[in-house]
Amino acid sequence: MTRARPILMRIAQVIPVVVGVVIISFILTRALPGDPAAYFAGDAADEASIAEVRAKLGLDEPLPIQFLYYVGDLLRGDLGQSLTTGQSVAADLAQRLPASLELTLCALILSCGFAIPLGVLAATRPGSWVDHLCRVLVTAGVSMPTFFTGVVLVYVFYYLAGIAPSPLGRLDFIYLEPERVTGFFLIDSLLAGDFETFFAACRQLILPALTLALFTLAPIARMTRAAMLQSLSSDFIRTARAAGLRRRKVLFGYAFRNAMLPVVTTLGMVFSFTLGANVLVEKVFAWPGIGSYAVEALVASDYAAVQGFVLAMALLFVVLNLVIDLTYTAIDPRIGFGSR
């Protein structure tokens, strides 16, 4: 109970944040240009038809009344119905969120597998070719837009080389989706024992994940290098070296472990930003994620879909921050919820 209490306290602290997100998202969606009633009534609709649609959507009520209806639906677990898809927003998010999470997590795994070792090598060999390579990749990663990188990869590997599958979603049309358990095609296909679908999903995932990985590689490598340089110049590292400890023990047992704290913080920020900003990659590769869903909802002034997207992202960020706090404690037990 003693260990669970700080976690419960941290969860309680985010309740005002979630309430603020609900209020702000409601107000901002109503400030969007355009009239959803006119959009769904059609271009040829007259004022009477538009007013009738507006009444059916409940948009003729005062804003405070609309907000009370919205909060009442939220308390019942009802995010509303999307006007663009005709389905409930909760069902749309449950269908699309795993696609975005799978893409984002695979991209982060790729970028971390390259960026963290590169940052460590660059910090231990300042001024070497590895250090210069790290700087070049960091500069290139932050300079190239993700949609441009995606288009170039499609042109080279699909159009010219012909070794990549068509960039048309999560699976080629000749394959059936695996039975839905988690919504992650890689995991669901393995659970079903369908290795052919697993490798097909991997092939579809390579180019979009690589596109996002090239974008996320830059901040992770830069932070790893900077954190390692600072850690290696610390007094405790000089003391460890003077005590005759092995280089591997000093580098990974002390320097790298202390450098991981800012790297974990950067990973959390990169994950949050990438999950909400990968809409361009989803458009290039026809990936059915929540980014493209949110853009389509914004264009149509689909209030329920936009509010559901914002609320889902806010809850994801809350969970992510809690995971980061727990990771801090696992890396350095001296850091606890009660000390901050």
Q: Tens digits of per-residue pLDDT, 259-301? A: 888 888 888 888 877 876 678 888 888 888 888 888 888 777 7
Q: Provide the domain count of the chain.
A: 1
Q: pLDDT band for position 167 (50/70/90)?
A: confident
**Which are the contacts of 312, defined by CB distance < 8 A and separation ≥ 6?**
93, 97, 290
Tell me: pLDDT of 57 over 60: yes
Lowest-pLDDT range of 111-125, 174-188, 231-245, 325-339: 325-339
Quick check: is 136 in a domain?
yes
**Which are the contacts of 64, defined by CB distance < 8 A and separation ≥ 6?**
none
Q: Tens digits of per-residue pLDDT, 113-137? A: 988 888 888 888 887 888 888 888 7
Q: 317: which 2 tokens?
A: 């960020």
Quick check: is 257 in a domain?
yes
DSSP calls for 182-203? SS-HHHHHHHTT-HHHHHHHHH
Q: Which domain holds residue 221?
A: 97-299+317-339
- Give ∠ CA 21-24-27 in degrees, rounded to 5: 145
Please report where in the chains the tokens 């240009």 appear, as a residue: 33
pTM above 0.85, yes or no: no
What is the chain's length? Answer: 340
Greater pLDDT, 40 or 120: 120
Q: How many CA atoms lie within 13 A of 338 on its CB side?
A: 7
Quick check: is 164 in a domain?
yes
Tell me: pLDDT of 176 over 70: yes
Q: pLDDT band for position 43 (50/70/90)?
A: low
Stretch (H or E) spanning 4: helix 4-13
Contact 186, 198 (CB under 8 A): yes
Quick check: is 306 in a domain?
no
Please report where in the chains the tokens 């009660």 appear, as a residue: 338
Quick check: is 333 in a domain?
yes
CATH number at residue 183: 1.10.3720.10
Return the number of other C-beta atoms located less than 10 Å from residue 330's C-beta.
10
Question: What is the spatial distance between Cα 54 and Cα 101, in angstroms, rounded to a whole number?
Answer: 35
Tell me: pLDDT of 305 over 50: yes
Quick check: is 214 in a domain?
yes
Return the number of other C-beta atoms located less than 10 Å from residue 60's C-beta.
14
